[in-house]
Amino acid sequence: MKKTNRLFTVLIFIFLYIPMAVLIVGSFNTGKNLAVFEGFTLNQYRELFRDQDLLALLGNSLLIAILSTAIATAFGTLSAVGIYRMKPKLRKAVMSLTNIPMTNPDIVTGISLSLLFVFIGTGLLGQRQSLNFWTLLLAHITFNLPYVILNVMPKLQQMNPALQDAAMDLGCTPLQSFFKVTIHEIMPGIISGAIMAFTMSLDDFVISYFVTGSQFVTLPVKIYSFTKKPIHPKIYAMFTLLFLLIFVLMVTMNLLQLRGEKQKAEKRAKDESKAMRTFKRVAAAACAFILLLGSVLLIATTRQDKVTLNVMNWGQNIADGSDGTMDLIAAFEEAYPYIDVNYSEYASNEELYSKLSGGGLVVDLIIPSDYMIARMISEDMLLPLDFENIPNYENVIETYKNQAYDPENKYSVPYTWGTVGIIYNSKYVDEADVTGWELLWNEKYKGQILMFDNSRDAFGVAQYMLGLDVNTTDKAELQKCADVLSEQRPLVQQYVMDQVYSKMEEGNAWIAPYYAGDAMMMMENNEDLRFYLPEDQAFNLFIDAMCIPACCQEKEAAELFINFMCDPEISGANMDYICYGSPIAGADAYMEDYLAESEIIYPPEEILKRGQSYGFLPEEITRYVENLFLQVRLN
Amino acid sequence: MEFDGERILDGINLYFNDHEFLTLLGPSGCGKTTTLRIIGGFLTPTSGRVLFDGKCINDVPPYERQINTVFQRYALFPHLNVYDNIAFGLKVAKLPKDEIHTRVQEMLEIVGLQGFENRRIDKLSGGQQQRVAIARALVNRPKVLLLDEPLAALDLRLRKDMQNELKRIQQAMGITFIYVTHDQEEALSMSDTVVVMDKGRIQQIGKPEDIYNEPKNAFVADFIGESNILDGVMNADYKVKFFGRTFRCLDAGFQPNEPVDVVIRPEDIDFVDPEAGHLTGTVTSVTFKGLNYDIIVDFKGFKWLIQTTDHQPVGATVGIRLNPEDIHVMHKSEYSGLFGDYSSYSAEYDELTEDADDEEE
Amino acid sequence: MKKNKSILLSTPYILWMLIFTLIPLGVVGYYALTDPETGVFTWGNIRDLWLFAPTLGISVWYSLVSALICLLLGYPVAYYIAHRGATAQKILYMLVMLPMCMSFLLRTLAWVGLLETNGIINQFLNALGIRSLNMIGTPGAVILGMVYNYLPYMILPLYAIIVKIDSRLIEAAEDLGCTPVQVFSRVVLPLSMPGILSGITMVFVPAVSTFYISQKLGGTDTMLIGDVIERQFKSAGNPNLGAALSLVLMLLVFVCTGIMNRFGSDEEGGVVV
């Protein structure tokens, strides 16, 4: 029985460690796909150390973890002493209060805190930006406190209460007796509480995800936004290094403990107390240093002469210097050295809308799609632009000006335009089936079809297939679309947005409706992929345009950014990366030829004619569609 | 003194003299530790005053009082070694290093722990820890040393040694010791003055001999040693009547025909032939105790404990005589009728459970 | 004097916890009872909740199954660790802790790579001549993800309890005629009950509220209540419905932990990490 138990334990450990082994092996892989080992390389590590942004994110995580742990440990220890001295009834009440964040699911804690901060910050104080570094720190302290208290309390209870009396009897004031006696007794509890708080804080994703704003993001939150896209293997390299670090830390801690226990038996107490004193001094110095560093960093980040421009864009929607393209943000910052661009991303128009309407953010520039622009205009969420600051506006091709979503062109300047079609894997999909939107309903490909995970695009696909008006407000028609989507559901592998990249590129799904530009990028990575616009059916022709949201604080800088993007050379360089159509005259001259000549990006005029744009839908219909879609997803 | 709304101490009026060894004696929960904690400054009385050299020290915190304490189970600091434990108070007082050193060495010598300076506390035996606790308190040269059941955790032999040791130290240092214990033997053998307490009240103060020989009420009589306590009536001075007979005694000053408690110590009773005795009864149980026999005798349904070296078989009819000096008469008190009946006698009589924790908070 | 100090020491903490745990829950309640557009009082969000009853059912079902699997897998491991020598115990304990300190997002992502249609496991099976299995997107994959992520939360409290069981009790049971099976069922199992209950709670609570695991490993049928809530806040723009849903989730968790505590002894602090 013992043998089988050992075997079983070994198997469980293998189960626990295999995924980590996969990630570690992935960090030495030349390819991006975890499942295919293409060759050994150390490049990912090089890339990692070159990526200042990623290291800065790690720094953010450490800063929050260290600060919140230090504060929670000091605060929690003192509070524990106070709670310990309470009358039993009151103590019980306070301890159940302490247990709330421990038993509550993280998601509820995160949501409740974020609602509180927005409620106070935006609702009561009228702040634009109510979610920021400080709210994140407060949240981390809050969920760290119980760990400290629950670790210190038992030590206090185990402690002989007469020790404190003895210290006072021998001339200590209560404060002295705490530092000379009590703290030594409860030190193991303080240390284990602090370690627990630190690891929890460092690895926290769920609570941070809800509580953080756009300016200060921790590593796990960023990783979450990464994992929607094909993740860069340098992240695996970072994982490997962190794994090694934590492994080494844990082993040394254990060794020290083991050795300490042996030493206790042999060594004399005098040396130990000396060691303790040195340890205390070092620890105090380290704490002081960390606090100092933290405050310096804070002052450094909060007090800047520079203007910070918060740009929010779709994922992978600006040239970033990778694969030989131009790094446009760097170029902009070079052109305007006093402006610092803080760039963040969203995955859908709806997510952007949620973020802005939820409050708690400062965003200076956004790039929503047509129908969302119309909605935002109708809800007064956008500021009119000052075109004096955007002389390059004259470069915009007339076709893309004064569109239905912004008839007088007061609020937006086109950024890109494109089409929505179907991308499929020619290795698995029969060319004969490639006709219209029906391909997405083809039983033959059950389980290999991906579908949009946002209501507007998903309903759009249904409407185009059924030949219905894409901007309808007729609830019966919408219900019909929902029915069609429900029929499709059993065939669908997953509802996705950015994840479509990895799924399609790695051949784990065969068919997906998606944006033409993204399709081009996927096709570069997998030559079996093809893209088509349905024959004889309508499809979505969309325009993404740059707008300034009402919560903007640096309007002039934002307009400079818009102007910068309307430069033909810049726009062309940008299209090299994002593979969409440029609305800027002359931009094609700066694009690579295969893009400028591509029929996917610039479809022939007669096909383009079938394109239909999304228009503005009333709030009630939007919510109705949203609800229908949720029902489709759930049933 | 009230605690959590409950009256813990009531009407305590105590004087401590210089150089005195005073013991607070009582069962657990009697308020003796509370009294000690008030003197030490760990508790503040809800009413009443604590005077020290004529000054009220009610509001003086413990760390400013010239009083030190040897705690129950010692409360030595486990993170410090012997030397640092003893030097603790001196270091807090920021004395110069060499003075600390000489005083600690001096103390180590007094308690006989030279050479143990660097020993960890958990590597000491109970008796050694005890000595460190005493040294740690005395090194500060307090005017009064409080000792809270200091010997409770030691085994019997060690306890006897330490009793002598403590007495020796007290005499050598010449300071006041206030000693708390529930062990009557300890109290009687060490103290100059014994204060018997129960239910938060002082029952009797006096020299050990007086307390033993002249208990003031049934509680003291029962708590100090063994006692047979009987209902009686004081017919007149020096005449007390119980069991239907009038005995001569040495007590006077009672109301005529006042109901009283009569105490007869078990070791004061001698067997005589049944015909020659004042009283006759039947032996119901005999236990060999080493020095003597504990014999329970039934007198008209009331059972007495008699300690004697004469063996008597169970069932034997015996007679006893009572001399006037063997009979102590006490006024009736709230304790009357609660003690002194050996009807439910068992061999392990009245071993006090060491449940001292009850009297802490 | 002492009393005042303790109040002085703990008042900031009590205030802090009131402001950052109790009041936020009140704010959640406030959002749950107001209309997303007009901000006036409404029962609408609460009324809409019944639509999500099936989702809630699925979430609870998956989490319970995961918790039970964790118990079945974790108990022998905890038992094994608890009966090693002191050094081995420390090392094994550390090895159980270690995965908990690593990014659970990335570890879950690794499972995507393992379970995909063209993933590592299927490549392996193909190499052995076995046809590919359809694993990703199934309820099994989601439960696997939960079991994988939360297994240490089961092992650690179990270990903490089992290691405390006095070996003399086992000897006593043997002495009184128990077979090994009886020793286990009559002595060891009842004594490890507090650990089992706290382990189940510690697996169930995060599992029932997860959204990441189902997003990555799940398919079209495995949307969990956590997904719906996350969606309300992060893309659907209906925090009021999201708040109502979180209220339900919280209630569910408190009821579950309450039941667990009732079954278990009054053992305080189920938190062992």
Going by pLDDT thresholds of 50, 70 and 90, the confidence category of residue A266 is low
What is the average per-residue pLDDT within A87-98?
Answer: 87
Least confident of A276-280, B169-173, B254-258, C168-172: A276-280
Task: Say whether A100 and C109 touch across the interface (CB within 8 A).
Answer: no
Q: How confident is the model at residue B4 (pLDDT cuts 50, 70, 90)?
A: very low
pTM of the model: 0.77
Both B29 and B174 in one domain: the answer is: yes
What percent of chain A shows pLDDT beyond 90? 22
A269 chain-B contacts, CB cut-off 8 A: 80-81, 118-120
DSSP single-letter state for residue B332? -
Mean pLDDT of chain C: 86
Give A534's DSSP letter: P
Subunits touching A (CB < 8 Å, at least 3 pairs)? Answer: B, C
Of A115, A147, A508, the CB nearest to C116: A508
Which residue pairs, CB below 8 angstroms and at least 24 apart, start in B182-187? B182/B25, B182/B26, B182/B27, B182/B28, B182/B32, B182/B149, B182/B352, B182/B354, B182/B356, B183/B151, B183/B152, B183/B352, B184/B25, B184/B223, B184/B224, B184/B225, B186/B23, B186/B151, B186/B159, B187/B23, B187/B25
Decide if C13 and A105 are in contact by the 8 Å CB cutoff: no
Confidence of residue A118 (pLDDT cuts 50, 70, 90): confident
In this predicted structure, the answer to whether residue A424 has a pLDDT above a threshold of 90 is: yes
Q: Which residue has the higher pLDDT, A252 or B76?
A: B76
Instruction: Supply the pLDDT for residue B355.
Output: 41
Res C132 pLDDT > 50: yes
Same domain, B282 and B235: yes
CB A626 within 8 A of CB C46: no
Domain match, B75 and B167 both: yes
pLDDT given for residue B358 in this prediction: 38
- Record: contact B40-A269, CB cut-off 8 A: no
B203/B233 same-domain check: no
Same structural domain for residues B70 and B190? yes
pLDDT interval class at A279 (50, 70, 90): low
Is A482 part of the contact surface with chain C (CB cutoff 8 Å)?
A: no
Does residue A96 carry a pLDDT above 80? yes
Catalogue all structural domains in chain A, each as residue range(s) with its CATH number. 69-229 (1.10.3720.10), 307-416+554-606 (3.40.190.10), 420-541 (3.40.190.10)
Asked if residue B14 and residue B90 are part of one domain, the reply reads yes
Per-residue model confidence (pLDDT) at position C150: 94
Partners of A29 in the β-ladder: A40
Q: How many structural domains does chain B have?
A: 2
- Pair of tokens at residue A220: 């796990």
Neighbours of chain C (3+ CB pairs under 8 A): A
Based on the domain organization, do B194 and B284 belong to the same domain?
no
Residue B348 has a pLDDT of 45
Q: In the predicted model, is pLDDT for residue B3 greater than 70? A: no
**A611 vs C244 pLDDT, higher one:** C244
pLDDT value, residue A303: 45
Phi-psi region of C87 (alpha: psi -120 to 50; beta: other; left: phi over 0): alpha
Largest CA distance in chain C: 79
d(CA C170, CA C176): 10
Residue that wins the pLDDT comparison between A3 and B21? B21
Q: Say if B339 falls within a structural domain.
A: no
Amino acid C91: pLDDT = 87
> A258 versus C153: which is more confidently predicted?
C153
Looking at residue A212, its pLDDT comes to: 83
In a domain, B357, yes or no: no
Is residue C188 within 8 A of residue C170, CB to CB? The reply is yes
Give pLDDT tens digits for B10-66.
777 778 778 889 999 988 888 888 888 888 888 888 888 888 888 888 888 888 888
What's the confidence (pLDDT) of residue B347? Answer: 47
Could you give the CA distance from residue A13 to residue C91 in angstroms, rounded to a whole number?
A: 12
Q: Does A102 touch chain C (CB under 8 A)?
A: yes
Q: What is the reported pLDDT for A129?
A: 64
What is the pLDDT averaged over residues B6-10? 65
Judge if B45 and B147 occupy the same domain: yes
Q: Name, in order, each residue with C-beta under 8 angstroms of A132's C-beta and a sequence gap of 6 or more.
A: A213, A215, A216
Q: Does A89 touch chain C (CB under 8 A)?
A: no
Q: Say if residue B43 is in the same domain as residue B156.
A: yes
- pLDDT at position C166 is 84
pLDDT band at C16 (very low <50, low <70, confident <90, very high): very high
Q: Do A247 and C98 touch (CB under 8 A)?
A: yes
Q: What is the arithmetic mean of pLDDT over B157-161? A: 85
Cβ separation A270–B118 shorter than 8 A: yes
Q: Does A191 touch chain B (CB under 8 A)?
A: no
State the pLDDT at residue A50. Answer: 79
The tokens for A54 are 């990623």
* Whether the predicted pLDDT of A225 surpasses 80: no
Report the residue of A98, A115, A355 to disrupt the C interface, i.e. the one with the largest count of C CBs within 10 Å.
A115
pLDDT band at A260 (very low <50, low <70, confident <90, very high): low
Residue whose C-alpha is closest to residue A505's, from C97, B351, C116, C123: C116
* pLDDT tens per residue, range C107-130: 998 998 898 888 889 888 888 888
| pLDDT tens readout for residues B171-206 | 888 889 999 998 888 899 889 999 999 888 888 999
Angle, nearest 10°, between helix axes B126-138 and B97-111?
140
ipTM for the predicted complex: 0.89
Cα–Cα distance, A47 to C37 (Å, whole number)? 47
Domain harbouring B301, CATH code: 2.40.50.140
Give chain B positions within 8 Å (CB) of A170. Answer: 63, 68, 88-89, 92, 136-137, 140
DSSP code of B350? T
Q: Quick check: C253 and A86 CB within 8 A?
A: no
**pLDDT at residue A292, as a whole number:** 63
Is residue C51 less than 8 Å (CB to CB) from chain A?
Answer: yes
Residues B292 and B258 in one domain: yes
Q: A276: distance to nearest CA of chain B, Å?
A: 10
Cβ of residue C212 closer than 8 Å to a chain A Cβ: yes
Regarding whether B159 and B16 lie in a shared domain, the answer is: yes
A338 SS3 class? coil
Q: What is the mean pLDDT of residues B114-124?
A: 88
Q: In this predicted model, what pLDDT tens digit does every residue of A9-65 receive, in sequence order?
A: 999 999 999 999 999 998 998 887 788 888 888 888 888 887 777 888 888 888 999
Give contacts of C 125-144 with A, CB under 8 A.
134, 136-137
Residue B314's domain spans which residues?
226-334
For the stretch A206-243, what's the b/e string if a residue is b when 16 or more beta carbons lie within 10 angstroms of its beta carbon? bbbbbbbbbbbbbbbbbbbbbbbbbbbbbbbbbbbbbb
Question: Which residues 573-612 on chain A approach chain C with CB closer than 8 angstroms?
Answer: none
Structure tokens at A278: 């040195």
- Above pLDDT 70, what percent of chain A? 90
Q: Which chains touch B (3 or more CB pairs under 8 A)?
A: A
Burial of A7 (0-12, 13-18, 19+ CB in 10 A): exposed
Q: Which of A167, A169, A172 sits opposite B40 (nearest CB)?
A: A169
Q: CB distance B71–A166 less than 8 Å?
A: yes
Poorest-confidence range of A461-465, A477-481, C266-270?
C266-270
Tell me whether residue B349 is in a domain. Answer: no
Q: Are residues B232 and B152 in the same domain?
A: no
Q: How far is A493 from chain C (nearest CA, A)?
A: 6
Beta bridge partners of A432: none
What average pLDDT does range A150-163 have in this prediction? 88
A79 and chain C: CB distance < 8 Å anywhere? Answer: yes
Q: Using 50, 70 and 90 to split pLDDT, how confident is the model at A1?
A: low
The CATH architecture annotation of domain C57-263 reads Orthogonal Bundle (1.10)
Q: Which residues of C touch A102 (CB under 8 A)?
A: 271
Q: Is A511 on the interface with C (CB under 8 A)?
A: no
Query: What pLDDT was estimated at residue A278?
Result: 61
